Copies of this chain bind each other. A is one copy, B any other.
Amino acid sequence: MNSFGSALTNFRPTPASIPPSNAHLTLHISSDLPVNFHPLNPLEFLLRAAQIYPDRLALLHPDVQFPVFYTYSVWAQRVQNFAYGLLRAGIQPGDRIAVLAPNSPMIADALQGVIGARAIVTTINTRLTKDEIDYILTHSGARLIFVDHDYKHLVSGATAPIIVSDDTGRPDDPYEGFLTAGRVYSQEKGWAGLEIDSDENKPLSLNYTSGTTGRPKGTYLAAVANAFETQMSKESTYLWWAATLLLDIIIWIVLFHRILPMFHAAGWTFPWSITFSFATQAVSDHLANSRLLFDLEAFLELRSNTLLWSSYSADRNHEPSKRKAAAAPNQDDHCWCCTHRSAPCSAEVQGFQPVHVYGLTETYGPFTRNYPQSSWFGLSPSERAKLSARQGHAFATSAPLRVVRPTTSPGDKLVDVPRDGKTVGEIVARGNIVMQGYFQDPEATARAFEGGYFHSGDLAVWHPDGSVQIQDRSKDIIISGGENASSLAIEQELASHPDVLEVSVVGREHPKWGERPMAFVILHAGSAERWAGNHKGFSSALKAHARKRLPGFATPEWIAIVEELPKTSTGKIMKTVLRKRAAASAKL
């Protein structure tokens, strides 16, 4: 181990981070509860991990000026200090606590520690504008704000008190001051001085990816499912960034996927899957230029057989709607995601096994999974890829899902579409892994829960094997000559053209057909050179390509070559912007 290694191994946690030798790692539980009931609460996973594997590496933050690492024993003490820090600040059960930070120890602490104070954690996307963040702070009624030093300017003027982290882990860091004060305030009452919430259905998190509130029970069950489905174990290291990936995987991810940050929908409950599994988590916010890449691999290989990370696809093309999230929840960013399992010892191709999952913030992140079948091994790679792209079946601890005919008015009975792989319907879900509701918006909640199921807003076909495959967002359907054309399906076919690097399709008004598809295309560098000055030629070539693969009503009528596509802070294409452009060009 060289410079990185020595910077890391020279690190010492603050004195307040060191637990007493006789630490009792059990939350107080109300004696009014029945003997055979304990409220499902995901904070208990951390306490178990600290009890059973106290010296195991829990949290590693290597890629900063002052690298830090914490064992489970030390981390649990810091989380306890965090909870007491909240109590000291007068936080009551149910109060909202905002966190604006990139992947870092503070946000990891908050996702656990806020539960210890029975408050509600709200993690905020650091890529939002100040206006958007102001809205979230006001709408959530945050009582306390934790902010990373790099993002202080985004919370200036906020009315709630602000705790700044310099992300150093050193005693002179104001965030460390907060933790130390919490420890002092605790008077060494330890975990026994903090109570586990008796109600497993109260809100635990508030996520402005959709304005949803999640419950301890749902978080618990979703976290267990994520751990089981990814076969996470104490031999795993979960990466909140992608520094150690092989180059080709990095390219694949940079082009098509984004690594899941911890602030995104509370990290899809992975923060608790990790503690459930006694795994190690490594946090960073520097995807591309981790100067510690090779050292880190050496460091981690000592501890781990398996590297895991989550990423989500940016090709679902939804608008940003942070500000209107709570008001118009179904307008929100949904996600495709893949959890990868890098298993150096396995015989898998390139040593990594993708686990394709699908979900929404309203479902705590993933709630379906694509389950590979042994019969697929006999298929061609492209056939296999098609099957692997399906969103699959409800996953472990989820209730079964359905695909239903889109309802037209409230009170309509939900009717399943046939399982024919053709008829498009809406994915609806119910059960423990459905959010509690939209925060302070009973009407939006009631709308989303119409007919006794949560409406995902995702249009899909239901295959005979019971798996679902998303076709589009309901509003991304293009109604062309009375036919429903899926912009996603069109994009998929256009993207198979060798010159196309990236493509997005929206509807544009048409005098005869009502709407017709318009495609916005980015060309590969070489192709752009070749087609330069010959837009018409490329347009014809692409239309010909499309006609072979799509019905007439779905073939794009117009094609625009562009340098880039308008994207949100989380990398999703802003179709509203494209629709406006399409409308403007219709008027020319």
Which residue numbers of A lie inside 8 Å of B, CB to CB? 22, 25-26, 29, 31, 35-38, 40, 44, 47-48, 51-55, 215, 218, 224, 227-228, 231, 233, 276, 371, 373, 375, 392-394, 396-397, 399-400, 419, 430-432, 434-437, 449, 452-454, 464-466
B-side contacts of A52, CB under 8 Å: 371, 392-393, 466
B-side contacts of A233, CB under 8 Å: 231
Cβ-defined contact, B399 with A31, below 8 A: no
The 29 listed contacts between A and B (C-beta, < 8 Å) are: A22-B419, A22-B464, A26-B400, A29-B399, A29-B430, A31-B452, A35-B434, A35-B453, A36-B218, A36-B431, A36-B432, A36-B434, A36-B435, A38-B430, A38-B432, A44-B399, A47-B400, A48-B394, A51-B400, A52-B392, A52-B466, A53-B371, A53-B373, A55-B375, A224-B228, A224-B396, A224-B397, A228-B228, A276-B396
Can you list the 4 inter-chain pairs with the closest CB atoms, starting with the nearest? A38-B431, A38-B399, A36-B434, A35-B449
Cα separation A394 to B25 with both chains bound (whole Å)? 12
Sample of 17 further A-B pairs with CB below 8 A, known A35-B453, A36-B215, A47-B400? A22-B419, A35-B449, A35-B452, A36-B435, A37-B431, A38-B430, A38-B431, A44-B400, A48-B393, A48-B400, A52-B393, A54-B465, A55-B375, A224-B228, A224-B396, A227-B228, A228-B228
Name A397's closest neighbour in chain B (CB-CB): B224
Cα separation A233 to B227 with both chains bound (whole Å)? 12
B-side contacts of A227, CB under 8 Å: 228
Contact of A436 (CB < 8 Å), options: B26, B36, B55, B453:
B36
Contact of A466 (CB < 8 Å), options: B25, B38, B276, B396:
B25
Instruction: Tell me if A's interface is mostly helix, strand, loop or mixed.
Output: loop
**From A36, A400, A465, residue with most partner B Cβ within 10 Å:** A36
Cβ-defined contact, B51 with A466, below 8 A: yes
Cα separation A215 to B37 with both chains bound (whole Å)? 11
**Shortest beta-carbon distance from A22 to chain B in Å:** 7
B-side contacts of A430, CB under 8 Å: 29, 35-36, 38
**Shortest beta-carbon distance from A337 to chain B in Å:** 19
B-side contacts of A400, CB under 8 Å: 25-26, 44, 47-48, 51
B-side contacts of A436, CB under 8 Å: 36
Cα separation A38 to B452 with both chains bound (whole Å)? 12
**Shortest beta-carbon distance from A268 to chain B in Å:** 17
Name A453's closest neighbour in chain B (CB-CB): B35
**Shortest beta-carbon distance from A265 to chain B in Å:** 16
**From A37, A55, A227, residue with most partner B Cβ within 10 Å:** A37
**Shortest beta-carbon distance from A523 to chain B in Å:** 40
B-side contacts of A231, CB under 8 Å: 231, 233
Cβ-defined contact, A454 with B48, below 8 A: no
B-side contacts of A419, CB under 8 Å: 22
Cα separation A466 to B464 with both chains bound (whole Å)? 50
**From A35, A454, A465, residue with most partner B Cβ within 10 Å:** A35
B-side contacts of A51, CB under 8 Å: 393, 400, 465-466
Cβ-defined contact, B454 with A35, below 8 A: yes
Cα separation A435 to B37 with both chains bound (whole Å)? 10
**Shortest beta-carbon distance from A586 to chain B in Å:** 41
B-side contacts of A373, CB under 8 Å: 53
Cα separation A381 to B429 with both chains bound (whole Å)? 52
Cα separation A25 to B464 with both chains bound (whole Å)? 12
Name A232's closest neighbour in chain B (CB-CB): B228
**Shortest beta-carbon distance from A31 to chain B in Å:** 5
**From A55, A375, A399, A465, residue with most partner B Cβ within 10 Å:** A399
Cα separation A48 to B466 with both chains bound (whole Å)? 10
**Shortest beta-carbon distance from A303 to chain B in Å:** 9
Name A399's closest neighbour in chain B (CB-CB): B38
Cα separation A449 to B31 with both chains bound (whole Å)? 12
B-side contacts of A452, CB under 8 Å: 31, 35
Cα separation A400 to B54 with both chains bound (whole Å)? 16
Name A400's closest neighbour in chain B (CB-CB): B26
B-side contacts of A22, CB under 8 Å: 419, 464
B-side contacts of A371, CB under 8 Å: 52-53
Cα separation A397 to B48 with both chains bound (whole Å)? 10
Name A54's closest neighbour in chain B (CB-CB): B465
B-side contacts of A435, CB under 8 Å: 36
**Shortest beta-carbon distance from A467 to chain B in Å:** 8
Name A431's closest neighbour in chain B (CB-CB): B38
B-side contacts of A394, CB under 8 Å: 48
**Shortest beta-carbon distance from A404 to chain B in Å:** 13
